């Protein structure tokens, strides 16, 4: 607990929404040191900034490992991440040191699901190509065989990881006339009943789906899950969409699958690395739509994420309940 009159030290690794900063200053229990930039904190600055901190508010682009925890030292009580994903944090090391972790589940589910559906439709119906043709004069007339894509009506959709976001994506897709909703994961989900979801082995999902959506968390088991072997089982007409984490996909294998016509198209909100270099081979393909990791990027969602991450941090600093504490 805080000694009378002494403010606890907090390091915030980026400019975050005002909603979060206001909560931290209004609480009057901590002194905030901010990496006052929209760009990621450099590693050396992170190691310096965290020294002696009681709390750390970080982003998914900050690798929180033993080196950072050692640099912080024994005062560190809480790490609050402005994300639902926590694959950037070495949980085993954090646990060893008895540090609590806050994250931002639920509040970004709708925004991320909405963006994933937008990406799926943009990819399947070739929207970026169409927009480009209008601008570059490629639009000569209405042509029966031009810019045709794939529709959801009567289709089979496969969701890899029917968690909070996976379910929210499925809910939004069903009204488009989806005939079957398949999902795979480690466990059967009771909530799948809401979308008539059928739990199937991954191989069945990829071979029977017209649209494959990846919405699982990144774990040692899901890293590189979508590789040559998996793409080779997909239909040639399959549309593949990933809004989980870039490293769930083997991008070299995806490039091969897209350029050889093994699958029809891919939409990616997440890549490896981020940002994807502008000369990356995937960016040369018309049938690959890449977005800059904007799943949760609505003004209101980011504001709520900022507020939640601040409340989580305060809970950890004061030894009280956090609104969203990660149990691990």
In angstroms, the CA 141 to CA 285 distance is 24
In the bound state with ligand NDP, the residue whose beta carbon lies nearer, of 271 and 311, is 271
In the bound state with ligand NDP, the residue whose beta carbon lies nearer, of 17 and 166, is 166
Do the Cβ atoms of 189 and 183 come closer than 8 Å?
yes
| 259-298 footprint of ligand NDP as x/- string (CB under 6 A) | ----------xx----------------------x-xx--
- The correct pick among 8, 12, 60, 117 for binding ligand DGY (CB under 6 A) is 60
In angstroms, the CA 312 to CA 80 distance is 6
Do the Cβ atoms of 230 and 214 come closer than 8 Å?
no
Q: Number of helices and strands (H, E) in the chain?
A: 11, 12
Instruction: Give the residue at shortest CB distance from ligand NDP.
Output: 163
- The correct pick among 162, 212, 282, 317 for binding ligand NDP (CB under 6 A) is 162
Known active-site residue 88: no
CA 177 to chain centre: 26
- Cis status of the peptide bond prior to 273, with omega within 30 of 0: yes
In angstroms, the CA 244 to CA 137 distance is 36
- The correct pick among 17, 149, 163, 315 for binding ligand NDP (CB under 6 A) is 163
**How many positions of this chain bind ligand NDP (CB under 6 A)?**
31
In degrees, rounded to 5, the angle at the alpha carbon of residue 120 between the alpha carbons of residues 290 and 183 is: 115
Note whether 84 binds ligand DGY by CB under 6 A. yes
| 201-240 footprint of ligand NDP as x/- string (CB under 6 A) | --------------xxxxx-xx------------------
Q: What is the CB-side half-sphere exposure of residue 33 using CA atoms within 13 A?
A: 18
191-195 long-range Cβ contacts below 8 angstroms, 24+ apart: 191/162, 191/167, 192/162, 192/167, 194/167, 195/167, 195/170, 195/171
Dmax (CA) for the chain in angstroms is 76
Task: Determine the interface stretch with ligand DGY among 45-53, 66-74, 77-85, 248-256 (rule: CB under 6 A).
Answer: 77-85
Whole-number minimum distance, CB 85 to ligand DGY, in Å? 3
Within 91-120, which residues bind ligand NDP (CB under 6 A)?
105, 108, 112
Note whether 84 binds ligand NDP by CB under 6 A. yes
Within 105-134, which residues bind ligand DGY (CB under 6 A)?
108
Query: Which residues in this chain contact ligand NDP in the complex, by CB under 6 A?
Result: 84-85, 105, 108, 112, 160-166, 184-187, 215-219, 221-222, 243-245, 269-270, 293, 295-296
Query: Which residues in this chain contact ligand DGY in the complex, by CB under 6 A?
Result: 60, 83-85, 108, 295-296
Q: Which residues are catalytic?
A: 293
């Amino acid at each position: 607990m805080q000694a009378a009159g002494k403010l606890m030290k907090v390091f915030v690794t980026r400019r975050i929404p005002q909603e979060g900063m206001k909560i931290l200053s209004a609480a009057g229990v901590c002194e905030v040191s901010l990496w006052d930039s929209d760009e990621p904190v450099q590693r050396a600055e992170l190691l310096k900034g965290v020294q002696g901190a009681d709390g750390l508010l970080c982003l998914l682009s900050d690798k929180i490992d033993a080196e950072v925890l050692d640099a912080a030292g024994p005062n560190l009580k809480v790490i609050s991440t402005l994300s639902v994903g926590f694959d950037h944090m070495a949980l085993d090391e954090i646990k060893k040191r008895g540090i609590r972790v806050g994250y931002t589940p639920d509040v970004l589910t709708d925004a991320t699901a909405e963006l994933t559906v937008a990406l799926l439709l943009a990819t399947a119906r070739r929207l970026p190509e169409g927009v480009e043709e209008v601008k570059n004069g490629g639009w000569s007339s209405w042509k029966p065989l031009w810019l045709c894509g794939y529709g959801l009506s009567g289709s089979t959709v496969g969701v890899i990881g029917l968690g909070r976001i996976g379910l929210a994506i499925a809910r939004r897709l069903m009204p488009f006339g989806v005939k079957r909703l398949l999902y795979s994961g480690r466990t059967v989900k009771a909530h799948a009943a809401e979308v008539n979801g059928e739990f199937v082995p991954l191989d069945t999902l990829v071979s029977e789906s017209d649209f494959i959506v990846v919405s699982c968390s990144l774990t040692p088991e899901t890293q590189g899950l979508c590789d040559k072997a998996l793409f080779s089982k997909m239909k040639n007409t399959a549309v593949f969409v990933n809004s989980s984490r870039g490293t769930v996909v083997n991008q070299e294998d995806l490039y091969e699958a897209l350029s050889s016509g093994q699958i029809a198209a891919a939409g990616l909100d997440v890549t490896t690395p981020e940002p994807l270099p502008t000369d990356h081979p995937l960016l040369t393909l018309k049938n690959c739509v890449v977005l800059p990791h904007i799943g949760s990027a609505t003004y209101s969602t980011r504001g709520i994420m900022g507020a939640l991450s601040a409340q989580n941090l305060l809970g950890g600093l004061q030894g009280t309940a956090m609104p969203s504490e990660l149990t691990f």
